[in-house]
Amino acid sequence: MVNVLKFFSVIGDYVPSPPKPARRPDLKFRLLFTAATLIIYYAMASVMVYPLSKYNIQGIQLPALINVVFASQQGTIAQLGIGPIVTAGLILQILVGAKILNIDMSDPSSRKLFTQSQKGLAILIAVVEGLGFAMYYRLNLPLTLAIFMQFFVGALILLILDESIQKGWGVGSGVSLFILAGVARTIAWDAFAPIKVPGTDQYHGFFPYLIHGLFGGGLSSERLFYGLAEGVDRTLPSLPGFITVIILSVVLVYLQSVKVNIPVTTQRAPGIRTKVPLQFLYVTNIPILLVGILFSDLILFYNISSTYLANSAPWLSEALSVMITYLAPPNSLLEIYVNPLRLLIYSILLVGLAVVFGYMWVEIAGLNPATQAENLIKSGLEIPGIRRNPKVLESLLAKYIYPLTILSSIIVALVALTADIFSAFGTGTGILLSIGIIQQYYTTIAYERTLEAYPLLKRLIGE
């Protein structure tokens, strides 16, 4: 497997890599660089590739969750979004966590090999995905290659921008920034889009619709409360969706600040006790992210098979159609009354798979009790009244970690389910991701500002 990593790293070596700054730029410059990166992303997500723009060809319809998680926009230069980066990172991290790849991440050379391998694998994934999307349009070879190159170059640009930010030119990470930008764009569009829905006199944006209705246009209870409009086959932004965004945002901010503290002491100062905090949402949003990707991939596979295999393998298309009926998220509050059985089956699948993926992630990502006990012992910490035995520490930590894993997996699944039922702006997964990213940015910026205000702290912490 190490030889495979070396092969990927060779490919990664050919990817243009931004230099690391000789001296860490100040916070103002890094914020400006991050803002410029954001502008580039929005420009890429707004420009249709040739010849789709010339002939007004519609882009491939992806599940909404894919657009949110991978920050992609159909038919644009950002068609692939950060999909190759995220997919490559998840694959390698799972292989390392499962000990299939024996890499010492504390060793600088091994860490460099891992980083370069991730870049190389991301490039290969971008090639495969770019070709797949380009071939979807069934155009002649030159046009197909032109579409592929534009999709590939778009993914390459986002890869370079992400690496630039992570090397210190910007704040946070490019992956988080692009996800947040995509979710913010979706929420802003649902709330304020001044565009009328084709075939109706209603605005797509909730507030333009509300203002137009209050000043003489008339308000429809079906649209206001359920997002339904005559002649429209999709759910439009509604009042429950807007209220749900606010409520869930407040709930998530609170839950992500809740911690379970384990009392510990240190060998260097045995009389002083401190605490090791465990996040109440121990698995964060990873379980619902993995479940969403699984569901979306199955839906995408169904869309492709129904197009290419409808005649040669109709049984496969029909079987997938039945399965997709129960995997598609609810898109309206009315599903509680119209199709409660489908909603119940979807809810059971969502919560059940979230728990399974949450447990798997804890085991393979180094968050399990055995790894945490080992980390405590290596750092010189010990739990009062407990012998410095890894097995004893592991059994004690398991009483905290596994219940937190199950409970947090259920909570994030229920948050996503609630958001989908009430048609929240930006989808439930989008809200989960964006709230976590915003808190990370707030913490990072507060930390950076503290270091700039008190330069002596930089020497104390070795900055």
How far apart are alpha carbons 210 and 239 in whole angstroms?
A: 9
Of 93-97, 289-293, 427-431, the least confident: 93-97
Average pLDDT over residues 201-215: 88
Of 84-93, 113-122, 267-276, the least confident: 267-276
How far apart are alpha carbons 200 and 208 in whole angstroms?
A: 14
The confidence band for 59, taking pLDDT boundaries of 50, 70 and 90, is low
Percent of the chain surpassing pLDDT 90: 15
What pLDDT is attached to residue 462?
A: 53
How many residues in the chain? 463
Instruction: Give pTM, 2 decimals.
Output: 0.84
Q: Which residues contact 249 (CB under 8 A, 6 or more apart)?
A: 431, 435
What pLDDT is attached to residue 151?
A: 93
How far apart are alpha carbons 351 and 346 in whole angstroms?
A: 9
What pLDDT is attached to residue 1?
A: 57
CA atoms within 13 A on the CB side of 314: 1
Greater confidence (193 vs 276) lies with: 193
Of 30-39, 95-104, 186-195, 328-337, the least confident: 95-104
For residue 418, the tally of other CB atoms under 10 A from its CB is 16
Q: Is the pLDDT of residue 310 over 80?
A: no
What pLDDT is attached to residue 246?
A: 92
Q: Is the pLDDT of residue 161 over 90?
A: yes
Q: Write down all domains in the chain, each with its CATH number in brackets.
A: 2-170 (1.10.3370.10), 243-424+427-461 (1.10.3370.10)
Q: Which two tokens stand for residue 122?
A: 């991301």
Residue pLDDT, tens place only, 127-136: 988 888 888 7
List strand residue ranges (DSSP E) for 267-323, in order. 273-279
Q: Is the pLDDT of residue 269 over 60?
A: no
Residue pLDDT, tens place only, 68-105: 778 888 889 998 888 888 888 878 877 776 667 777 66
Mean pLDDT, rounded, of the chain: 82
By C-alpha distance, which of 71, 433, 440, 68 is closest to 252?
A: 433
What is the distance, to the nearest Å, from the Cα of residue 427 to the centroid of all Cα atoms in its chain?
12
The confidence band for 244, taking pLDDT boundaries of 50, 70 and 90, is very high
DSSP-assigned states of every residue in 329-352? PP--TTHHHH-HHHHHHHHHHHHH
Q: Is the pLDDT of residue 264 over 80?
A: no
Greater confidence (53 vs 339) lies with: 339
Average pLDDT over residues 303-313: 65
Q: Is the pLDDT of residue 36 over 70?
A: yes
What pLDDT is attached to residue 40?
A: 94
3-state secondary structure of 382: strand
Q: Give counts: helices (H), strands (E), the chain.
A: 19, 3
What pLDDT is attached to residue 309?
A: 63
The confidence band for 34, taking pLDDT boundaries of 50, 70 and 90, is very high
Residue pLDDT, tens place only, 352-383: 999 999 998 888 877 888 888 787 777 776 66
What pLDDT is attached to residue 106?
A: 67
The confidence band for 148, taking pLDDT boundaries of 50, 70 and 90, is very high
Task: Check residue 168 and give left, alpha or beta (phi > 0: left; psi -120 to 50: alpha).
Answer: left
What pLDDT is attached to residue 286?
A: 82
Greater confidence (182 vs 387) lies with: 182
Percent of the chain surpassing pLDDT 70: 86
Average pLDDT over residues 54-72: 73
